[in-house]
Structure 1
Amino acid sequence: MTARQKTGTVIVTCALTGAIHTPGMSPYLPVTPEEIIAEGRRAVEAGAAILHVHARNPETGRPDQTVEAFGRILPALKETGAVINITTGGSPFMQVDERVGPSAHFAPELSSLNMGSMNMGLFPMQSRFPDLGRDWENEHLENSRDVVFRNTFKDIEHILDTCGPNGTRFEFECYDIGHLYTLAHMKGRGKVSGPLFVQSVFGLLGGIGGHPEDVMMMRRTADRLLGDDYEWSVLGAGSNQLRIAATAAATGGHVRVGLEDSLWAGPGQLATSSVQQIEKVKDVLSGLSLSHATPDEARSILGLKGANEVNF
């Protein structure tokens, strides 16, 4: 039985901005350091224990994976008391050395780590957002027809070997069943150790879908491969977000929400903040007689090193 199942507490992660959605899709997507910091503060006040952090160029809105860009965000987010999770995924269009730079430099408590290469089709969003204002936004979507989001065994090992010695633990992002097998392979070789934090991703074109059977198949496979030595969390892309969060919470999982994963608060209703999604998840948890974890409870559940051991 996992720590979460013993305590009845669910870790809520909030992904603040990401690298998939573009500024023209929603005026509420945080882009500048000030906007990302403000969104992070609101999310923690609403109940998020972990903040999953990307950075963007404040003028163009493009994803920005430089140390300098993260340096303008991280100290203020640390002041919220939340666990700070720095992406090593960056953007599907970036190389691994660029993607790992901020985590290597800042040695956070937690970093995301994508567990396999995949097609990541963003181009269907073109029909939903035909009037994006910047040329790069349209290119960003169209170019996803012919890009492989590269996460080879060598790339994964590079990130583990670069960040692991700093005491950073990982949010293992698994977009399909094969990614769980890769994680089990790394565990069998002693490259990773528990408690593993497995973030199952549902509903992105190129990965596993968002059907309830997909969710439970991922859970059953993780149980079989990893036993009791992991904590399971889910994120559902777009309209899948709350349905999948509810399914996971009811079956012993943690949840991730935020404008990185969905721009919506309901059908046809843009979320003005990730807080709206956090509040909806809290309603689900309350109905299940579950509570949301504090940042320190999340640290205990995941075996993190503590905020005093980071380099920001």
Structure 2
Amino acid sequence: MSKVIISCAITGSIHTPSMSPHLPVTAEEIAESALGAAEAGAAIVHLHARNPEDGRPDQSPEAFEPFLKVIKQSSNVVVNLTTGGSPYMPVEERVQPAAVWKPEVASLNMGSMNFGLFPMLKRYKEFKHEWEPAMLEGSHDLVFRNSFKDIRYALETLNATGARYEFECYDTSHLHNLHYFWTEGLVQAPLFIQTCFGLLGGIGPHPEEVLHMKRTADRLFGDNYRWSVLGAGASQMKVAAQAAAMGGHVRVGLEDNLWLDKGVLAPSNAAQVTRVRQIIEGLGLEAATPDEAREILALKGGDKVGF
């Protein structure tokens, strides 16, 4: 396919406000950054919310409302709402924004995993808020729970909304978990599979590991899926370039990586979208528009969301 879907994950819950002055925290900042990413070429924006006072993750539906309405009024971009929230939250809390706002796409983690954020404590020594180092330190003993029961709960809650899913797969087992739910009829093709590389606790970002995930997905799903990748940290653009050259789609954004170049913080999400778009176009490919992404992923349309 010559059209590459660029997803942009705007703020996430892993990076903290002390790590970059460019990380969007308030609803106004999240909306502005999402719209900038869309203007730069992102067809999909993947959204989390944060407490505007201290930047901690906030998975209440009310926290999403202000920026969802601004984005909807100002852009045709596809909105993807997280059900990952924070790995410290139970699934019942994590699915609420997508259940209330009924987006075109909702993310869904496909397996439990160790979730090691503590290596960032070696890089960052000073924090604005007490919760930041405590959250990172706590990941020494953190299992991000996504049991079969949890995944089934999310699917049964959200299938009625007509949302499709960004299936986040951090290791080979997650692809097999997704295959189980597909054969059970709880999810429908085309499956939008986001293979995630470089987070401690998941598969690494080596080119052979990217190939391994792609080969496994090909064997399990054949033509019934659309492949996308995200690389955490320094692996972001390398993994994106490899996947785009192999016919895949890509995800960038400050949720996954705060940097644009070595030692240079990304000034915005739009800057990363622009960079990956240059890579895509350098390969003779084109960035998909939001409506082209809707067609590729068989989405319900922006007129059928709840915001």
Both proteins in one fold, TM over 0.5: yes
Please list every run of 5 or more consecutive structure 1 residues that lacks an aligned counterpart in the other structure: none
Which digits, 9 at most, give the CA deviation of each residue in 1:60-111, with x for residues without a partner? 1000000110112111112311000000000000000000000001111000
**SS where residue 124 of structure 1 aligns?**
helix
Aligned residue in 1 for 2:20: 26
Matched, 1:238 2:225: no
Superposed displacement of residue 283, structure 1: 1.1
What amino acid maps onto 1:174 in structure 2?
C
Superposed displacement of residue 49, structure 1: 0.3
Q: 1:122 aligns with which of 93, 117, 123?
A: 117
Aligned residue in 2 for 1:59: 53
Q: Within 1, Cα distance between the matches of 2:201 and 2:45?
A: 25
Superposed displacement of residue 275, structure 1: 1.2
Name the % identity: 58
Aligned residue in 1 for 2:254: 259
What amino acid maps onto 1:247 in structure 2?
Q
Matched, 1:306 2:290: no
TM-score by structure 1 length? 0.97
What amino acid maps onto 1:69 in structure 2?
A
Q: 1:296 aligns with which of 291, 294, 302?
A: 291
Matched, 1:39 2:29: no
Q: 2:278 aligns with which of 276, 279, 283?
A: 283
Deviant stretches of 4+, over 3 Å: none
Q: Within 2, Cα distance between the matches of 1:279 and 1:72?
A: 26
Q: 1:15 aligns with which of 2, 9, 17?
A: 9
Aligned residue in 2 for 1:180: 175
Aligned length: 306
Give the RMSD, CA atoms, in angstroms.
Answer: 0.6
Q: Within 2, Cα distance between the matches of 1:73 and 1:287?
A: 33
Please list every run of 5 or more consecutive structure 2 residues that lacks an aligned counterpart in the other structure: none
Q: Within 2, Cα distance between the matches of 1:276 and 1:216?
A: 27
TM-score by structure 2 length? 0.99
Which digits, 9 at most, give the CA deviation of each residue in 1:169-214, with x for residues without a partner? 0000000000000001111111111000000000000000010001
Q: Within 2, Cα distance between the matches of 1:119 and 1:248?
A: 25
**SS where residue 80 of structure 2 aligns?**
strand
Matched, 1:215 2:178: no
What amino acid maps onto 2:297 in structure 1?
L
What amino acid maps onto 2:109 in structure 1?
N
Q: How does 1:194-205 map to 2 (within 5 A)?
A: 194-205=189-200
Q: 2:68 aligns with which of 49, 74, 83?
A: 74
Q: Within 2, Cα distance between the matches of 1:286 and 1:213?
A: 24
